[in-house]
Amino acid sequence: MRFPHRPLVLAIAATIALPLPILAGESELTIVDAYVRMVPPGSPNTAAFMTINNSGSSKHKLVQAESPVARRGELHTHINDRGVMRMRQVPAIEIDAAGQTQLKPGGYHVMLLDLQASLKEGDTVPLTLRFDDGSTKEIDAAVKKPQTVMPAGDGAMKH
């Protein structure tokens, strides 16, 4: 006996057999406030920053980042090494269940190494973020000038 709907049944079965983290991870992780630091023309490297929110009940890890504007993307953090802040590559950045991780100056960030073009304020940089569950997020990050930090207190300059 011939079963005329076999391809449809196989397609449905293959979809159901996908690991749940791949299906769940796509909607649990959201990226907000993504931007890339503008650097002077000719600078070989820059950094991308963002907040990654995890609305799910499982911890996730950002394991890779890449962009067509750079030959290489790496995950980095800053550590205090006997009073000296040093940047170090890390294998992954954790995003706690029902939590968020901020990638920001002085902390975790994505390094974009060997830039292929100058980035100007207002440009948009495509980024692909890969997570430990196999899911990916494709985002666009605006290029912004580095922000200056005001002194703590009331913000008034004192001489």
What is the DSSP track for 66-119?
A: E-TTEEEEEEEEEEEETTEEEEEE-S-EEE-TTEEEEE-TTSSEEEEEEESS--
The pLDDT assigned to 159 comes to 44
The secondary element (H helix, E strand) that includes residue 13 is helix 6-16
Top pLDDT among 115 and 148 is at 115
Strand partners, 94: 61
Select from 2.40.50.140, 3.90.79.10, 2.60.40.1890, 3.30.1540.20 the CATH code of 28-144. Answer: 2.60.40.1890
Q: Tell me: the pLDDT tens digits for 21-80? A: 444 444 699 999 999 999 999 999 999 999 999 999 999 999 999 999 999 999 999 998
Alpha-carbon distance values, 145 to 14, 79, 87, 142 (Å): 47, 24, 21, 10
What is the residue extent of each domain of the chain? Answer: 28-144
Quickly tell me which residue has 């440009």 as its tokens: 123
Strand partners, 127: 139
